Amino acid sequence: MDRGAKIFTTNFDTILDSTLFPDHIHGRFQLPLLDLNNTIAFHVNDKEFEWKYLFGTNGLEKLSRLDRIRKNQANEYDINFFYDDTLDLGDLLIFGLSFGRTEFISDEFLRQYPQHKDNKLVWSVDGHILLKLSIKKDLNKLKRITVSCFDESQEYHYRELFGNTNLEERIEYLPYHQIFNFD
């Protein structure tokens, strides 16, 4: 791996921080957890608060929460990936990110309303990342994407996900063992 490469992670743990020095775009745990209040980034009001790590049912919800986090300057989040238009991603490797489907949009719903399948911001729990990658491409801040696939079904999922985006022509799908040798 290129040691000059910038590493972004959606993982909350900080176990590899001293080796990889990643940016935590979804926040981070503070370990050891000795006080439950240490999981709160800030209070919105007397009854609402924001976690130090990003949860959400889809990309739209996560993007909305990230905007609130940005406005409140929560230090647990490295938000340059989402808000720095000058950040150049160059050759991007996506490894270990599921881009899973939201579970509240059923297959039956998509059969009846197929036009919503292309709305990746709502369709994927990581749609907010897809949106930002698309914006980076439009700003010429994303040259190429290599997507690491664990198996054929994961590659199929990625191809379906990226298929109707402006990113598809810049993506190469590779088996994970061609990228990292874990032997």
157 located within any domain: yes
3 located within any domain: no
The confidence band for 71, taking pLDDT boundaries of 50, 70 and 90, is: very high
58 located within any domain: yes
Per-residue pLDDT tens digits for 97-121: 888 888 878 889 889 998 887 788 8
49 located within any domain: yes
154 located within any domain: yes
133 located within any domain: yes
Q: 10 Å Cβ neighbour count for 74?
A: 18
1 located within any domain: no
Q: Does 58 score more than 60 pLDDT?
A: yes
Residues of the domain holding 157: 8-179
Domain tally, the chain = 1
How far, CA to CA in Å, does 48 sit from each of 37, 43, 140? 13, 6, 39
Long-range contacts of 148-157 (CB under 8 A, 24+ apart): 148/93, 148/94, 148/95, 148/96, 148/174, 148/175, 148/176, 148/179, 148/180, 149/173, 149/174, 149/175, 149/176, 150/175, 150/176, 157/99
172 located within any domain: yes
Before 22, cis peptide (omega within 30)?
no
* Alpha-carbon span 122 to 116, nearest angstrom: 8
Structure tokens at 122: 């709502």
pLDDT at position 119: 83
**pTM: predicted TM-score of the whole model, two decimal places:** 0.87
For the residues 138-146, what does the mean pLDDT come to? 95
* Alpha-carbon span 73 to 93, nearest angstrom: 28
Q: Between these two residues, 171 and 115, which has the higher pLDDT value?
A: 171
